[in-house]
Structure 1
Amino acid sequence: MATFSAVTRQHILQAIAEYDSRGRDDFLGIYGFEPSDGYPLVHGTRTYDSRAVLGVAHRYATGRLATADEFHGGMPGAAALLRRRGFEVTEPVGAPPAPRAPRARTAPAAPRRSTAAPERVAPICPTCSMTLPATGTCDYCG
């Protein structure tokens, strides 16, 4: 089972760009996904196979393609993950709306105060933007 916590919005945008450049049939064929009309991902004026895009985005994030069998929750699970990353995914025609988990009502927590010292910011070379060594002189610029 694949985990999708490493998949960011940027990885999904990379997969969409590849989908656009290859075309639907080539994109699905190369990665072994079946065409799907349920839960299409809408980006701009185009629609995409959400499961295929998410599987390829997983490849961009981890180096390993997530196959159609590895999606926890099937198509609704893939759609929910894409929505959490800020994308629009439409429901299939005639499908009931996806159930939403109820939110627990709790009293607001008191603000926590950190006792840790702030993290030291490493000095950076103003010319090449590399982190400076302890000597304070850039190894590249001199």
Structure 2
Amino acid sequence: MATFSSVSRQNVLQAIAEYDSRGSTGFLDVYGFEPFPGYAVVHEGRSYDLRAVVGVAHRFATGRLATSEEFASSTASAVAILRKRGFDVTEPAVAVRPAPVRAARAPRAPRTPVARATAVREAPSATCPTCFMTLPATGVCDECG
């Protein structure tokens, strides 16, 4: 994966100048790039293939041509660098689906209040008046008798 942080504005302008002198098809053929529809670098009212321009600008900056395969996961990085360097970049339009139309609902009948059962509290256990121990079911304290 190529990093494009070393590409300067001057490198991009140099690639654009070569793109202009060779023409679109010649520039793409010389460097082995396929047209990349959707993304374009816009400079002085003209559009340039994003991958080809950035790939060649990368070559001017580092001496190594960034290939089409390296753009697979780093197109967003290339777009960000170009914008940071002051270039306009067009991106493919995202198809927006219309929101589904829902049928109107019939009005609901008012709810009737429901009586809720209240919790029944358990009576406290009986305790021995002498030792304050809980009495067994027989009601006679096991300790005091």
TM-score range, shorter chain: 0.5 to 0.7
Aligned counterpart, 1:33: 33
Query: 2:47 aligns to what SS in structure 1?
Result: strand
1:41, distance to aligned residue in structure 2 (A): 0.7
In 1, are the aligned partners of 2:15 and 2:53 still within 8 Å (CA)?
A: yes
Aligned counterpart, 1:70: 70
- 2:29 corresponds to which letter in structure 1? G
Greater Rg by CA:
2
Aligned counterpart, 1:124: none
Name the CA distance, whole Å, in 2 between partners of 1:94 and 1:2: 26
Name the CA distance, whole Å, in 1 between partners of 2:74 and 2:33: 13
Change (3 A) 1:43 1:95: farther
Aligned counterpart, 2:4: 4
1:35, distance to aligned residue in structure 2 (A): 0.7
- 1:18-97 to 2 correspondence within 5 Å? 18-71=18-71, 73-94=73-94
* TM-score when normalising by structure 2: 0.61
Aligned counterpart, 2:126: none
Aligned residues: 96
CA RMSD, aligned part only? 1.7
In 1, are the aligned partners of 2:4 and 2:77 still within 8 Å (CA)?
A: no
Task: Output one character per residue of 1:23-57: Cα deviation in whole Å (capped at 9) or x when no partner.
Answer: 00000011111012211111001100011100000
Quote the sequence identity (%). 65
The answer on 1:16 being equivalent to 2:16 is yes
- 1:104-115 to 2 correspondence within 5 Å? none
1:61, distance to aligned residue in structure 2 (A): 0.5
Task: Output one character per residue of 1:38-86: Cα deviation in whole Å (capped at 9) or x when no partner.
Answer: 1111100110001110000000001110001112634333222211111
- 1:13 corresponds to which letter in structure 2? L
Mark the runs of 5 or more structure 2 residues left unpaired by the alignment.
97-145
Name the CA distance, whole Å, in 1 between partners of 2:93 and 2:69: 23
Query: 1:53 aligns to what SS in structure 2?
Result: helix
In 1, are the aligned partners of 2:5 and 2:81 still within 8 Å (CA)?
A: no
* TM-score when normalising by structure 1: 0.62
Change (3 A) 1:38 1:69: same
Name the CA distance, whole Å, in 1 between partners of 2:72 and 2:20: 26
